[in-house]
């Protein structure tokens, strides 16, 4: 029951992040003269996001197998939602920044195709601001998301090996001699 509750909590947190992404009103009513303020807020947001993901990575490394990967999963979902919102707002301010991006689903799709390095080309950065944001996302992905994915993969592999070891019957001396 404990495991089911944990998975339910993880799904609720990730689901809430995605619902908030679609529900929070996104307005670009910031005067164009406030480009410096927008830049400072963007950089501060990225630094905060990076610090939160780095904290989760550090906890995973320091505590090892005793730590659950829930925080990493939530961090990766948070990164995807944050970049999706960034692309959506950027394109709302200037529709020429990202070709093919019209809705939040398009922004989420573009973020995920960039994250997974698929890049279909139907939605692509065409303006300089969008290209800078894509480069920032790529660097972010290489540093943080790849590290998180590596740690989660190692954790899954270790848990699978532990479970396989528990299921494997122990060979005793008499059992081994029966096969000879």
Question: Which segment of 35-44, 55-64, 102-111, 165-174 scores lowest on mean pLDDT?
Answer: 165-174
User: What pLDDT, on a 0 to 100 scale, did the predictor assign at position 126?
Assistant: 94
The CA distance from 38 to 77, in Å, is 23
Q: Return mean pLDDT, the chain.
A: 82
Q: How confident is the model at residue 74 (pLDDT cuts 50, 70, 90)?
A: confident
* 12 has a pLDDT exceeding 70: yes
Percent of the chain with pLDDT over 90: 36
Question: Which segment of 127-131, 161-165, 172-176 scores lowest on mean pLDDT?
Answer: 172-176
pTM for the predicted model, two decimal places: 0.75
CB 26 within 8 A of CB 88: yes
The CATH code belonging to domain 39-156 is: 1.10.287.70
User: What pLDDT, on a 0 to 100 scale, did the predictor assign at position 67?
Assistant: 59
Half-sphere exposure of 19 (CA within 13 A, CB side): 6
Displacement of CA 49 from its chain's centroid (Å): 11
């Amino acid at each position: 029951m404990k495991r089911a509750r944990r998975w339910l909590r993880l799904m609720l947190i990730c689901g809430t992040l995605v619902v908030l992404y679609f529900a929070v009103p996104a307005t670009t009513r910031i005067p164009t003269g406030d480009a410096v303020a927008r830049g400072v807020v963007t950089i501060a947001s990225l630094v905060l996001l990076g610090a939160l993901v780095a904290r989760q990575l550090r906890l995973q490394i320091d505590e090892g197998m005793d730590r659950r990967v829930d925080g990493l999963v939530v961090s990766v979902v948070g990164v995807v939602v944050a970049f999706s919102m960034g692309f959506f707002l950027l394109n709302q301010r200037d529709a020429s920044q990202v070709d093919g991006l019209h809705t939040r689903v398009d922004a989420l799709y573009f973020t995920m195709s960039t994250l997974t390095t698929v890049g279909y080309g139907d939605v692509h950065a065409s303006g300089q601001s969008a290209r800078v944001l894509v480069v920032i996302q790529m660097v972010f992905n290489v540093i943080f998301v790849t590290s998180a994915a590596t740690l989660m993969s190692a954790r899954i592999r270790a848990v699978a090996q532990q479970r396989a070891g528990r299921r494997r019957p122990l060979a005793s001396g008499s059992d081994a001699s029966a096969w000879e």
